[in-house]
């Protein structure tokens, strides 16, 4: 397929490369020149604006930071909407507000352009390996048209419902991840306070009912004091803000979400917003006056 790709960050860069590896014709736009050069070397064409990236394409993928960024690259000056033709499928793979998703989709529909919201889970490792979980909202026919693209980037593709449902399910994902991560952090602190080797604790517990992706993958990193980002604290704070806003609209009481959002706020306030989400441990270490591992 001929596909435009807007946003070459930690996730977008390997996702675009996987589209190229699958044989798709990819035209990329990114504000920074470094990722553009990297994709050009991989075989992509380079556009100077989102409008140019969308011109003549069967589909356009956007993956940028937040709701205002999506509105800007799709609906703003020289945006995707100005270059995409009627019948094009615009696929937003960012994590943004479900309400904004529906607003952008309505504006595109006035031009005969279909939209899918398709946020992802799996981190940079999943983006590189092409094993992402992709949560799709929108019309089934548009999903089937875009399926070859999704199959090049992900392993599990789930149609969650109408436009906006993909974003809602992604926020469910973030609620579950951060709640579980908090439990792992507390278990590590409990072991450290008790004088138990945290590595032995992880070995014993991760094979049982308490096992999780966060325990198996982020637990050892925390013990090793490896806080390099697979997914940054600052981005997770944005996702939790979106979840809290949506919960407020629905009058849903989610006290665990509120607690973990406050702890991530403490990590960010300490200047650690660029670290990986496993830096949540540092907020608890500060409360307990003890460090895990090292």
Question: Is 170 annotated as catalytic?
Answer: yes
What is the C-alpha separation between 29 and 5, in angstroms, rounded?
6
Q: Looking at domain 168-288, which of 1.10.443.10, 3.40.50.720, 1.10.1040.10, 2.60.40.1120 is its CATH number? A: 1.10.1040.10
Q: Which CATH class is domain 2-162?
A: alpha beta
pLDDT at 85: 96
Question: Are the CB atoms for 89 and 115 separated by under 8 Å?
Answer: yes
Question: Are the CB atoms for 281 and 237 separated by under 8 Å?
Answer: no
pLDDT at 124: 87
pLDDT at 92: 98
The dihedral over CA atoms of 216, 220, 226, 232, expressed in degrees to the nearest 10, equals 20
Question: What is the per-residue DSSP string for 176-215?
Answer: HHHHHHHHHHHHHHHHHHHT--HHHHHHHHTTSTT--HII
What is the helix (H) or strand (E) element at residue 60, kind and residue range?
strand 59-62
**Considering only CA atoms, which of 48, 42, 40, 47 is closest in space to residue 17?**
42
pLDDT at 33: 83
What is the C-alpha separation between 163 and 168, in angstroms, rounded?
10
Is the full-model pTM beyond 0.85? yes
Low-confidence ranges of the chain (pLDDT < 70): none
pLDDT at 267: 97
Q: Where are the domains of the chain?
A: 2-162, 168-288
What is the C-alpha separation between 68 and 80, in angstroms, rounded?
14
pLDDT at 3: 98
Question: Are the CB atoms for 44 and 16 separated by under 8 Å?
Answer: yes
Q: Pairing between strand 2-6 and 25-29?
A: parallel
What is the helix (H) or strand (E) element at residue 33, kind and residue range?
helix 33-42
Question: Are the CB atoms for 282 and 269 separated by under 8 Å?
Answer: no
How many other CB atoms are there within 10 angstroms of residue 53's CB atom?
Answer: 29
Q: Out of 170, 221, 238, 282, which one is annotated catalytic? A: 170
Tell me the pLDDT tens digit for each residue of 37-96: 999 999 999 999 999 999 999 999 999 999 999 999 999 999 999 999 999 999 999 999
**Considering only CA atoms, which of 35, 70, 34 is closest in space to residue 50?**
70
């Amino acid at each position: 397929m001929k596909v435009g790709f807007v946003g070459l960050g930690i996730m977008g860069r390997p996702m675009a490369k996987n589209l190229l590896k699958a044989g798709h014709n990819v035209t990329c736009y990114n504000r920074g020149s470094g990722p553009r050069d990297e994709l050009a070397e991989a075989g992509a064409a380079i556009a100077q604006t989102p409008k140019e990236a969308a011109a003549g394409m069967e589909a356009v993928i956007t993956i940028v930071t937040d709701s205002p960024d999506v509105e800007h690259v799709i609906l703003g000056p020289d945006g995707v909407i100005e270059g995409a033709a009627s019948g094009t499928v615009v696929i937003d793979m960012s994590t943004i507000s479900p309400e904004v998703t529906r607003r952008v989709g309505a504006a595109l529909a006035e031009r005969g352009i279909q939209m899918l919201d398709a946020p992802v889970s799996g981190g940079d490792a999943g983006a590189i390996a092409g094993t992402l979980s992709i949560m799709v909202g929108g019309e089934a026919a548009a999903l089937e048209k875009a399926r070859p693209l999704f199959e090049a980037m992900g392993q599990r593709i789930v149609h969650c419902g109408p436009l906006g449902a993909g974003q809602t399910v992604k926020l469910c994902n973030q609620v579950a991840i951060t709640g579980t991560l908090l439990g792992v952090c507390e278990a590590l602190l409990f072991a450290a306070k008790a004088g138990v080797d945290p590595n032995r604790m992880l070995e014993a517990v991760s094979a049982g009912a308490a096992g999780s992706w966060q325990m198996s993958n982020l637990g050892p990193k925390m013990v090793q004091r490896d806080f390099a980002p697979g997914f940054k604290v600052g981005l997770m704070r944005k996702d939790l803000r979106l979840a809290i806003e949506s919960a407020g609209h629905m009058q849903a009481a989610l006290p665990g979400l509120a607690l973990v959002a406050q702890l991530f706020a403490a990590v960010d306030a300490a200047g650690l917003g660029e670290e990986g989400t496993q830096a949540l441990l540092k907020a608890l270490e500060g409360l307990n006056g003890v460090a895990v591992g090292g």
